[in-house]
Amino acid sequence: MKQERVNRFTSKMQKKLLVLFVIVLLAFAGLSARLFLINRDNGETYKRQVLSQQRYDSVTIPFKRGEILDKNGTILAISNKVYNVILDTKVLMDDEANLEPTLNALRTVFGIDISEVRDYIATHPNSAYRVLARRIGYDKVEEFKGLQKDEEIGKNIKGIWFEDEYKREYPNGSLACDVIGFTTSDNVGQYGLEEYYNDILCGSNGREYGYMNDDSNVERTTIPAVDGYNIQTTIDANIQSVVEKYLREFDEEYRDNYRAGAGAENVGCIFMEVNTGNILAMASYPVYDLNDVRNTDNLIGMPELDEKSKKTGEYLTQELIDAMDDDALYRQLAALWKNFCIVDTYEPGSVAKPFTVAAAIECGAITGNESYNCEGKLVVGDYPIHCHNVYGDNYLTVAEGIERSCNVVLMNVAFAMGKDKFVDYQHLFGFGLKTNIDLAGESRTANVVYYKNNMRQTELATNSFGQGFNASMIQMITGFCSLINGGYYYEPHVVSRITTPEGATVQNIEPRLLKQTISQSTSDKIIEFCNLVVTGEKGTGKSARPAGYMIGGKTGTAQTLPRGNGQYVVSFMGYAPADDPQYAIYVVVDRPNVPEQADAKYATKIVRNILTEVLPYLNIFMTEELTDTERKELEELRQQLTIPQVTGDGEQEEGEGGEEGEQGEGTEGEGEPERSEAPEVWRDFPIDPETGYAKDPDTGYLVDPETGAVLNLENLYDVPEGTSPIRGVGEPPQDDGSDDNSFGI
């Protein structure tokens, strides 16, 4: 039975099976031949189509960098979508008929040099990605897409696609450039807020993938980009613009005045809230355009820097700039981009005197009612330390010492306190420490102040009136606010809120109280003394007072190194209102472009102009009666401005000085010695027609006719060879003759 079943698979059936096998084999052979022919004749075409599909269907989705806003919501920095024009040579050359229409469209819409495109196509026939133009606006992209949709020529415009990108833009140009900073082409923040908050402002890229599903249809999967957070600052764009306007006007007035160059080597201003640490405005001059950071126009007039970033003594001209290599030019640009208010350090001068008095009162060394005899100088050891009034003021109270800015009074106050207490309070006020303001680039100053182990009586004397140690503008105004707000030291900051792109609050940054430096009673005395600087008959800061307002403050004039070079840093630290300080302002002018620099009017003039325009904006009402002259000035300016302003001639402030010595004479008892006003001999001096100052016929001193301050005393103090302000902890300072010894980090 089994044998019969086997025999049924006959030879005929075997032949049929063989024929079927041959047919299947031939079919496979034919299919293989066909695939070979397709690959040979059309393989490149299909390959280009696949690669093109990959390019279009798998792309990076860029994130949008967060916005920077002022306190009122004004946009200071924003990222707008732009497009890169991409050439896919493979797709374009799939048909040679596409070449000319596509090139013509590129030239017509984007202004692209098509000769360069032709050369690239010829040398890179297999290229699938070439950027032809970067950061093109949406209007141009739409114009090009309109040509692609044209029934006649659009069918031959191939191989061009657009890559999304974001371009960082600053709607207000140079406004608050030192605070904001900028970004590189790869979206990395440089300087200011852009660098400090880079991680907050940055988001993360997304991606879009394309693939074929089981039905041979293209499916897309998108991982969306995560945009960066926005930051809202404490900066008020209106106040910032006023500050920058008057810094610019100062430069315009004094540029090329005495020497070729800018109106001063640096001019800076900080405007902040006394009771919060909020920075409402911060600016220095010169500025730069945030949308064109490598523009060299504003370098002209700045000090030239050598390969070690030291000043050469020359001032930049267009010819010097044109001759620079890339490294040299970058050094100059870096000096332009830095924020003078937080980076540079300098000897602050007499604006430091309220700190000395506050420390002495707070530690109980003085009551503030003492009197000291000023004979124009104090001989400490074998070396005379001059007062700015070399003719002497006789006995002055501590309050009058602040009012007239008497070096002799301040030295005696410091001697009563002693070096240990003095150093303790210097560090309590923040000198030698970073304020930790939320801006990139703040200087470290630990090596430019004294400590107990290296301060002698000499340094105590000179430090008492702001010479011999270095500080930055942000350190000075932050510490000063604590002197006038009851002793509360707030960390300065520029950002108040972080929000999502949709506006939801991520973090509120509240004022941060770090410590209490002095008591309320001591603070009240400092306010009383500093008010006299502006209101007192012989106050050195009277010219800072804006029309209709009463303010307080302190002037400062500090010699730079080498001593006797005739170069000064002048300043004014002020506040308003005088009876209840709410806002503080600090202006520093580094080496004004004038023959006699030791004159604080160059700073007080700027302060007066700024406050005259800003205080009404802040709803601070006038309390003082206007003179006819002030009323006329304000009326004229109201025709031009929504916020009135006045200009003032300013008033000169004192010189500083001091080195070797020991404690001078003074009285610290409860009783006040019999006193008489010193004769103001300078009032009889003839006026020098070239400078407008009184001139001592015996010594040749140029003297301010109001205060008696000498402007051109070459050396306010004689020092032994080798002594100069500290530059490093525990080591003797070195004077290499460079200005940078006394200014800079």
Distance from C-alpha of 371 to C-alpha of 676, rounded to nearest angstrom: 12
Q: Which residue has the higher pLDDT, 619 or 56?
A: 619
pLDDT tens profile 273-319: 999 999 999 999 999 999 999 999 999 999 999 998 899 989 999 99
191: region left, alpha or beta (phi > 0 left; psi from -120 to 50 alpha): left
| CA 718 to each of CA 388, 661, 737: distance values in angstroms, whole numbers, following the listed order | 14, 11, 17
Distance from C-alpha of 336 to C-alpha of 88, rounded to nearest angstrom: 42
pLDDT tens profile 115-173: 888 888 888 888 888 889 988 888 999 988 888 888 788 888 888 888 888 999 999 99
pLDDT tens profile 475-491: 999 999 999 999 999 99
Q: Which residue has the higher pLDDT, 339 or 2?
A: 339
Checking if the pLDDT of 73 tops 50, the result is yes
- Look at the chain and count its residues: 745
- Percentage of the chain beyond pLDDT 90 is 56
DSSP helix/strand/coil, 477: helix
Residue 55: predicted pLDDT:
45
Residue 213: predicted pLDDT:
56
pLDDT tens profile 236-251: 999 999 999 999 999 9
What is the DSSP pairing of strand 75-87 with strand 488-490?
unpaired
pLDDT tens profile 646-683: 333 333 334 333 333 334 444 444 445 555 566 677 67
Task: Write out the two tokens for 244.
Answer: 């920058």
Residue 475: predicted pLDDT:
98
Residue 399: predicted pLDDT:
96
Q: Is 61 exposed, middle or buried (0-12, 13-18, 19+ CB in 10 A)?
A: middle
- Stated as kind and residue range, the H or E segment containing 423 is helix 419-428
Which segment of 104-113, 336-345, 375-384, 660-669 scores lowest on mean pLDDT? 660-669
Residue 656: predicted pLDDT:
39
- A 10 A CB-CB count for 717 gives 27
Checking if the pLDDT of 695 tops 60, the result is yes
Are the CB atoms for 302 and 314 separated by under 8 Å?
no
| CA 482 to each of CA 277, 348, 353: distance values in angstroms, whole numbers, following the listed order | 10, 17, 14
Q: Which residue has the higher pLDDT, 560 or 68?
A: 68
Whose CA is closest to 395, among 657, 671, 658?
671
For residue 636, the one-letter residue type is E
Residue 9: predicted pLDDT:
67
Whose CA is closest to 458, among 730, 744, 718, 739?
718
Neighbouring-strand partners of residue 190: 182
Cis before 286? omega within 30: yes
Per the prediction, the chain carries an average pLDDT of 85
Checking if the pLDDT of 11 tops 80, the result is no
Indicate the pTM of the whole model: 0.83
Q: Name the E strands within 577-642.
A: 583-592
Checking if the pLDDT of 644 tops 90, the result is no
Helices (H), 76-150: 89-92, 99-110, 114-123, 138-148
Residue 686: predicted pLDDT:
77
Distance from C-alpha of 387 to C-alpha of 378, rounded to nearest angstrom: 8
Are the CB atoms for 387 and 376 separated by under 8 Å?
yes
| CA 37 to each of CA 13, 27, 31, 94, 313: distance values in angstroms, whole numbers, following the listed order | 36, 15, 10, 19, 78
